[in-house]
Structure 1
Amino acid sequence: MRAAVLTRFGAPLTVREVPDPQAGGGEVVVEVLAACVPPYADEVFGGARRYPLEPPVIPGPGGVGRIVRVGPDATGLKACDLVWCDPTVRARDDALTPDIALQGWASRGEGGARLARHLHDGSFAELMRVPTENVHPLPASAGQDPARWSALGVYVIAYGGLLAGDLRAGETLLVSGATGNLGSSAVALALAMGAGRVVAPGRDRTVLDLLADRFGARVRPVPLTGDEAADQEAMRAAAEGQVDMVIDLLPPAAPASVTRTAAMTVREYGRVILMGGVGMLGGADLAFPYPWLMRNSVTVRGQWMYPRTANPGIVRLIGSGALDLAGERVRAFGLDQVNEAVAHAAADTGPFRRTVLVPRQG
């Protein structure tokens, strides 16, 4: 098969022939139809993000595909099934605190690194080997536009955070980082899940206007000024009542103060979910005030990625039309254009803009 290979950090990806993957017990081989290229892929491949990938490696976090072969222990999946391949791989020998790796992308700790060495290669290839439990059936309609459906990989991350915070119909959610790639997806997803109101703070007024125009009165945009007290008051005013839950999806370059300002709008007994990259590049600590947390009985939870059960949940939301992908702006690239795709993803980072690799495209 042909694949895009990262030979070393700082070098362009190289498209070349590599051996076809083989499915063992508990594994499936999938023909990759479409894989999203993350907007920060250039930072990963260039070494700026210091991801624990071990070159040479075929990168790529998940994708939409069609099953080619299944292992002997698969009971429901079969060849030719259309599926979503979840990159979040968990060790099978620890049910409570499993080691985790993102196949073809990242890992956590030494146990995660061992997983990543076993399932070394990702979706920037014509074929991919995937653990059976990471393969999830898609409706037949997804086969009409697999590139658009590959945006599922963005939405399922935000979905994991909203599940962790137990977002309920009618509640008011504040999305910290609402103008970003993940944050804008969280806005759309929260509305699909029945949020009564979504407060969307951000500095990019063009994106704030886009969110308001697309989703209507349930979205309350808040232009940020950098004045913590004024911004916090503006977010509370936009909620027109209590903020039940805050989800933070800010990128690593954002200062901790922006996260703290948004989080401290939450009501007594409210929930704060942290899923962004704040602090990964250094800087001041988040520093929530102890008395505020304790006296208001606020729950603060970190959430990395999502549980396995989030996958069929997000598939149902999209398949039912509750989460509509029609507004996604998709730019597809063939495998030979992979470096062009990486550059495009970095340059075209706005909400609902997806750069997608289609390995068998001409």
Structure 2
Amino acid sequence: MRAAVLTEFGAPLSVRELPAVEARPGEVVVDVLATSVPPYAAEVFGGARNYPLVPPVVPGVGGVGRITHIGPDATRLRVGDLVWCDPTVRSRDDALTPDITLQGWSSRGEGGARLAVHLHDGPFAESMRVPTENVFPLPAAAEDDPSRWASLGVHVIAYGGLLAGGLAAGETLLVSGATGNLGSSAVAVALAMGAGRVVAPGRNRAALALLADRFGPRVRTVGLTGDEGADRAAMSAAADGPIDMVIDMLPPSAPSSVARTAAMTVREYGRVVLMGGVGMLSGDDLALPYPWIMRNSVTVRGQWMYPRTANTGIIRLLAAGAPDLTPERVRCFPLDAVNEAVAYAAVHGGPFDRTVLTPSAG
């Protein structure tokens, strides 16, 4: 099979022939039809993000594929099924605190690194091995445009964070980092889940206008100035009432002060979910005031990726047309143009911009 290989950090990906993959017990093999190229992929492949990838590696982070082989433990999957391949692989020997690796992308701790040795390669290839429990059948509608459905990998992250915060219908949510790729997804998914109002702060005025135009009055945009006091007051005013939950999706380049300003708009007994990259590349700590958290009974929690059940939930939402995938701007690249795709993604990472690699399409 052909695959794009990261041979070393800082080098272009190399498209080459690799041995065909085979399903082992507990796994399936899929032909990869479409996989999203994250806007920050160039930072990962260049080494700037210090991800624990071990070259040579076929990278990528989840995708849409068609099953070609199934292992003996699959009882409902069938060869030919169109499926979503969840990259969040968990160890099977600790149900309470499983080790996690993002297949072909990243890992957590020593155990995650060991798991990544077993499931080393991701979806930038014509075929890939996937654990049976990480494969989710897609609805018939996905057959018409698998590349558009590859954005499921973005929406499921936002969905997982909103589930972690217990977002309820009618509540007011503030999305910190709303103008980015993940943050804009959080806006769309929250509305699909029934949020009564979403406050969307950011500096990118064009992106804020896009959100307001697409979603109407349930979204209240706020242009940030960098003044913590003024920005906090503006976000609170835009909510026109208590902010029940804040979800942070800011990238590593964002200063912690922006995340802190947003978090401290939450009401008494409110919830704050941290899913972004603030502090990952050095910089100041978030430094939320202890007395403020304690006296206001605020819940602050981190959430890396999402529970396995979130895959089924977001597939159902997308199948129902909420969020609607139709308006998303999708640019597809064949496997041979993988480096062009990475470069394109780096400058097209705004709301609902999708860069997709199609290794086995056609």
TM-score, normalised by the number of residues in structure 2: 0.99
Listed one character per residue, the Cα deviations across residues 1-37 of structure 1 (whole Å, up to 9, x for unaligned) are 1100111111111111101111011000001000000
Listed one character per residue, the Cα deviations across residues 32-78 of structure 1 (whole Å, up to 9, x for unaligned) are 00000000000111111111111111001110001000001111111
SS at match of 1:243: coil
What is the total number of aligned residue pairs between the two structures? 362
- Rounded Cα–Cα distance in structure 2 between residues aligned with 1:331 and 1:322: 21
Letter in 2 for 1:206: A
Q: Is the contact between residue 30 and residue 128 of structure 1 (CA under 8 Å) also seen in structure 2?
A: yes
Letter in 2 for 1:65: G
Listed one character per residue, the Cα deviations across residues 78-104 of structure 1 (whole Å, up to 9, x for unaligned) are 100110000000000000000000000
Listed one character per residue, the Cα deviations across residues 279-311 of structure 1 (whole Å, up to 9, x for unaligned) are 011111111111110110000000000000000
Question: Does residue 180 in structure 1 map to residue 145 in structure 2?
Answer: no
Taking the TM superposition and a 5 Å limit, the aligned residue runs for 1:324-335 are 324-335=324-335
By how many angstroms is 1:360 displaced?
Answer: 2.6
Q: Could you tell me which residue of structure 2 aligns to residue 77 of structure 1?
A: 77
Question: Does residue 272 in structure 1 map to residue 252 in structure 2?
Answer: no
Q: Could you tell me which residue of structure 2 aligns to residue 353 of structure 1?
A: 353
Q: Could you tell me which residue of structure 2 aligns to residue 39 of structure 1?
A: 39
Letter in 1 for 2:64: V
Q: Is the contact between residue 232 and residue 265 of structure 2 (CA under 8 Å) also seen in structure 1?
A: yes
Q: Could you tell me which residue of structure 1 aligns to residue 214 of structure 2?
A: 214
SS at match of 2:270: strand
Unpaired stretches in structure 2, ≥5 consecutive residues:
none
SS at match of 2:147: helix
SS at match of 2:114: helix
Q: Is the contact between residue 34 and residue 361 of structure 2 (CA under 8 Å) also seen in structure 1?
A: no
SS at match of 1:34: strand
Question: Does residue 120 in structure 1 map to residue 120 in structure 2?
Answer: yes
Taking the TM superposition and a 5 Å limit, the aligned residue runs for 1:187-202 are 187-202=187-202
Structure 1, 121-130 or 281-290: larger mean CA deviation: 281-290
Question: Does residue 104 in structure 1 map to residue 69 in structure 2?
Answer: no
Q: Could you tell me which residue of structure 2 aligns to residue 10 of structure 1?
A: 10
Unpaired stretches in structure 1, ≥5 consecutive residues:
none
Q: Could you tell me which residue of structure 2 aligns to residue 310 of structure 1?
A: 310
Q: Could you tell me which residue of structure 2 aligns to residue 287 of structure 1?
A: 287
SS at match of 1:272: strand
Q: Is the contact between residue 61 and residue 123 of structure 2 (CA under 8 Å) also seen in structure 1?
A: yes
Q: Could you tell me which residue of structure 1 aligns to residue 322 of structure 2?
A: 322
- Rounded Cα–Cα distance in structure 1 between residues aligned with 2:285 and 2:122: 34
Identity of aligned residues (%): 77
Q: Is the contact between residue 31 and residue 360 of structure 2 (CA under 8 Å) also seen in structure 1?
A: no
Letter in 2 for 1:109: G
SS at match of 2:339: helix
Q: Could you tell me which residue of structure 2 aligns to residue 57 of structure 1?
A: 57
By how many angstroms is 1:322 displaced?
Answer: 2.0
SS at match of 2:267: strand
- Rounded Cα–Cα distance in structure 2 between residues aligned with 1:329 and 1:300: 34
By how many angstroms is 1:266 displaced?
Answer: 0.3
Q: Could you tell me which residue of structure 1 aligns to residue 236 of structure 2?
A: 236
Question: Does residue 203 in structure 1 map to residue 176 in structure 2?
Answer: no
Q: Is the contact between residue 104 and residue 123 of structure 2 (CA under 8 Å) also seen in structure 1?
A: yes
Listed one character per residue, the Cα deviations across residues 158-210 of structure 1 (whole Å, up to 9, x for unaligned) are 10000000000000000000001100010011001100000000001111111
- Rounded Cα–Cα distance in structure 1 between residues aligned with 2:223 and 2:141: 38
By how many angstroms is 1:361 displaced?
Answer: 4.3
SS at match of 1:189: helix
Q: Could you tell me which residue of structure 1 aligns to residue 342 of structure 2?
A: 342
Q: Could you tell me which residue of structure 2 aligns to residue 299 of structure 1?
A: 299
Q: Could you tell me which residue of structure 1 aligns to residue 95 of structure 2?
A: 95
Moved over 4 A (4+): none
Question: Does residue 145 in structure 1 map to residue 138 in structure 2?
Answer: no
SS at match of 1:4: strand
Q: Is the contact between residue 333 and residue 361 of structure 1 (CA under 8 Å) also seen in structure 2?
A: no
Q: Could you tell me which residue of structure 2 aligns to residue 163 of structure 1?
A: 163
- Rounded Cα–Cα distance in structure 2 between residues aligned with 1:268 and 1:250: 23
- Rounded Cα–Cα distance in structure 1 between residues aligned with 2:45 and 2:267: 41
Q: Is the contact between residue 31 and residue 127 of structure 1 (CA under 8 Å) also seen in structure 2?
A: yes
SS at match of 2:244: strand
